[in-house]
C-alpha cells in the first residue's frame, strides 16, 4: 500500500499534533482488514507506531497501543510485532513497556497494554522468551500478581482483567506452571478468588484456565489437593448450586462448600464449566488424587451438578465431561487397578474414535 508509506511522514514524534492524531486514527482503522494489517506490519511503520506509544498526548499514545492490540490479535502478527520490536533501532522493549504500564497504578494505558501482552503471551513459542524478560527484574511478577489481585489497584479506572489470560498463557509451558505454583511468588493463592468472579468473564475465564493448565501437570497435583482445600474449593465452587445435602454428605465437603445459600448459582458459561470439569478429570489421573476427591465429596457435588446440567444447562459437552469424571470416581480402586492413567493406559486410535461416537449418541439421548 503506497498510502501507508505516505502516512509515515505524519507519524513522526515532532509532527503537528493534529496531523499525528488524524493519521494514527486512519492507521488504526486499517488494522480492521487483513490487507491493512499486512501493509502496516513493516519495520518502518511499526517503528513509528512504537514511537507514538510514548507520545505525551494521551489520545495519540492510546491509539498507538490500540493499533498494536489489533496487529497482535492473530499469531502471525503477534510474532512479527514481537520480533520487529527487537530489530528496530533503537529496540522497543515491548514486554517491559507493557509490564511497566500494568504495574503503574497511575497509568491510563494499563488496560490496552495488558491486552497487547495477553495477545503476545498467547503464542506458545514466545512464552519462554517473555518469561525471561519478566524475570529479569525479580519484582515484576509479584507486582503483576499484586495488580491482578487488588481490584482497585489502578487509580485511573483500568480494570486489569486481562492479567488473568496473561497468567493463563504463561502457564501453557511447564516453566510458567512452576512459577505459578512456586511458594516464592504465591501467584496461585492470589489468583484463586477470581475463579468465581462475577464481574468479568475474562478475569474469571483466565483464572479457570490457569487452574486447568496446572491440573494437566501431575507434578502439581499435591499442591492443588493440599490440606487447606483452597484450590479444590476454587474448582468445585462454580459447579455447586443451592441443593441441600444430607448431613453425611455435608461432612465430606470442605467447610466452604457446606450449607450454601438458596441464592447460589452455577457458572453460567458452558465453556468455563467444561474447563472446571476437565480440571477434575486431570486430577483423577493418580490413585492418591482420586481418593482425595472422593473423600472431599467431589462425587456428591457432581451428582447434583449432572442433574442440573441435564435439565437446565443442557450443554452436551459439559454433560459428557461430568460423566467422564463420575465414571472414575464411582469405581473402587480395585476395579480401576491402575495408579496412574496417563502412564499406564494407551487407547488405540480406532477404539478412541468409537468411544467418541458412543459418547455423543449417549449424551444426545439425555438431552432429547
pLDDT of residue 345: 46
- What is residue 339's DSSP assignment? S
The three-state secondary structure class of 151 is coil
- The per-residue b/e assignment along 314-347, b for 16 or more CB within 10 angstroms, e otherwise, is ebbebbbbbbebbebbeeeeeeeeeeebeeeeee
pLDDT band at 241 (very low <50, low <70, confident <90, very high): very high
CA dist 352 → 23, 91, 100, 355, 358 (Å): 55, 50, 48, 5, 10
Q: Average per-residue pLDDT in the chain?
A: 91
pLDDT of residue 367: 58
Residue 228 has a CB neighbour count (10 Å cut-off) of: 9
Q: Among residues 93, 27, 102, which one has the least CA distance to residue 66?
A: 27
pLDDT of residue 237: 97
What is the DSSP code string of 100-115?
HHHH-TT-TTHHHHHH
**pLDDT tens readout for residues 100-137:** 999 999 999 999 999 999 999 999 999 999 999 999 99
**pLDDT tens readout for residues 304-320:** 999 999 999 999 999 99
pLDDT band at 190 (very low <50, low <70, confident <90, very high): confident
SS3 content of the chain, % helix, strand, coil (to 5): 70, 0, 30
Count Cβ atoms within 10 A of the Cβ of residue 12 and give its class: 0-12 exposed, 13-18 middle, 19 or more buried: middle
Amino acid at each position: 500500500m503506497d498510502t501507508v508509506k505516505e502516512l509515515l511522514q505524519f507519524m513522526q514524534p515532532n509532527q503537528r499534533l493534529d496531523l499525528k492524531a488524524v493519521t494514527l486514527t486512519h492507521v488504526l482503522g486499517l488494522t480492521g482488514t487483513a490487507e491493512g494489517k499486512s501493509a502496516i506490519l513493516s519495520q518502518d511503520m511499526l517503528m513509528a507506531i512504537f514511537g507514538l506509544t510514548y507520545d505525551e498526548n494521551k489520545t495519540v499514545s492510546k491509539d498507538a497501543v490500540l493499533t498494536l492490540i489489533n496487529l497482535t490479535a492473530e499469531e502471525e502478527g503477534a510474532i512479527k510485532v514481537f520480533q520487529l520490536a527487537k530489530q528496530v533501532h533503537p529496540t522497543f522493549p515491548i514486554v517491559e513497556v507493557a509490564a511497566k504500564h500494568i504495574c503503574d497504578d497511575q497509568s491510563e494505558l494499563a488496560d490496552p497494554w495488558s491486552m497487547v501482552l495477553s495477545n503476545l503471551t498467547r503464542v506458545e513459542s514466545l512464552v519462554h522468551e517473555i518469561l525471561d524478560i519478566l524475570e529479569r527484574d525479580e519484582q515484576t511478577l509479584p507486582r503483576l500478581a499484586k495488580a491482578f489481585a487488588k481490584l482497585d489497584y489502578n487509580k485511573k479506572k483500568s480494570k486489569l482483567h486481562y492479567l488473568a489470560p496473561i497468567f493463563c498463557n504463561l502457564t501453557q509451558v511447564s516453566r510458567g506452571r512452576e512459577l505459578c505454583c512456586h511458594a516464592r511468588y504465591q501467584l496461585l493463592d492470589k489468583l484463586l478468588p477470581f475463579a468465581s468472579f462475577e464481574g468479568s468473564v475474562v478475569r474469571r475465564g483466565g483464572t479457570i484456565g490457569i487452574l486447568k493448565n496446572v491440573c494437566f501437570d501431575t507434578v502439581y497435583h499435591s499442591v492443588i489437593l493440599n490440606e487447606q482445600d483452597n484450590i479444590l474449593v476454587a474448582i468445585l465452587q462454580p459447579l455447586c448450586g443451592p441443593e441441600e445435602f444430607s448431613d453425611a454428605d455435608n461432612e465430606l465437603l470442605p467447610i466452604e462448600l457446606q450449607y450454601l445459600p438458596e441464592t447460589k448459582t452455577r457458572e453460567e458459561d458452558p465453556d468455563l464449566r467444561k474447563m472446571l470439569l476437565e480440571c477434575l478429570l486431570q486430577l483423577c489421573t493418580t490413585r492418591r488424587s482420586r481418593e482425595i476427591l472422593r473423600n472431599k465429596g467431589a462425587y456428591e457435588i457432581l451428582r447434583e451438578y449432572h442433574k442440573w446440567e441435564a435439565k437446565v444447562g443442557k450443554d452436551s459437552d459439559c454433560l459428557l465431561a461430568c460423566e467422564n469424571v463420575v465414571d472414575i470416581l464411582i469405581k473402587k480402586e480395585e476395579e480401576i487397578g491402575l495408579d496412574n492413567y496417563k502412564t499406564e493406559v494407551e487407547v488405540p486410535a480406532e477404539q478412541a474414535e468409537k468411544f467418541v461416537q458412543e459418547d455423543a449418541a449417549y449424551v444426545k439421548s439425555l438431552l432429547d
